[in-house]
Amino acid sequence: MSTFPRTVANPDRSGSVPTHHASPAARRAALLAGVALLSLLTACGNGTPNSSPKTLPGTAGPASGDTSTKAGSTGPSSPAASAPSKKKGTGTGTDTGTASAAASSGSAAAGGGRCHTSELRASVGRNDPGAGQENFPVVLTNSSGRTCTVRGYPGAAFVDASGKQLGPDPLRSSGSPTTVVLAPGHSAWSGLTFSNPGISGAHTATPASLIVTPPDERDSLTVTWTGGTVPVSGNSSSVFLTVVRPGSGA
């Protein structure tokens, strides 16, 4: 038998092409090489799993849970962007305090401000006794050239000729303080009352003066006392003062 390869005739070409009968091992090696080549070509065409995704154009907002914003921008949750602006005259926020301050300033301007001790003159009016009670009006008169106001309770104390206080400080009778506007020459008064010592049996003394301190002031005025004896200790010895009110108490 001949060991030379056979030739197959090709009608389109002259001559003949030799053919080989490959062994099974050679065919298996060729198949594996083809598969490896195909996998390499596929990877080059489609990219690898670790490649970065493409960036798409658009203005979509951040994903859920992403609250970051670009540098220099104000996010929707920023107080500066979301807080409403306050307008004057709305009666909210600091405007309320401003309006109240303006109203208070207006009232003070209308009354000219509080009367100071140096602008007042003190006197004690005539006693108006009744039902075992002694009642004296303590009068404060505006002696200045401006309008001013008084409000609340004055202070008072009986003293002897040497200036020593007789008895405790007067107590305050219940009452609702009101602001009294005093034009120059006008007066306000507070009632000074106590039980008649002859009826109550209280221990008495005869004061030389009554010291009067206008409401909200530290300096006092001295008035000569001509009302006789006053209770200073013992039964029913308390002396009372009322809030100031317009007039002279006459």
| pLDDT score recorded for residue 250 | 82
Label the pairing between strands 133-142 and 16-18.
unpaired
Stretch 172-177: mean pLDDT: 95
Q: Which residue has the higher pLDDT, 171 or 37?
A: 171
Of the pLDDT bands very low, low, confident and very high (cuts 50, 70, 90), residue 28 is: low
pTM above 0.75, yes or no: no
Of the pLDDT bands very low, low, confident and very high (cuts 50, 70, 90), residue 112 is: confident
What's the CA angle centered on 59, arms 58 and 65, to 5 degrees? Answer: 120
- Strand, coil or helix: what is 84? coil
Closest-CA residue to 141 (of 81, 80, 183, 85): 183
Query: pLDDT tens for residues 54-72?
Result: 333 333 233 333 333 333 3
CA distance 243 to 139: 12
CA distance 42 to 48: 10
Stretch 4-14: mean pLDDT: 44
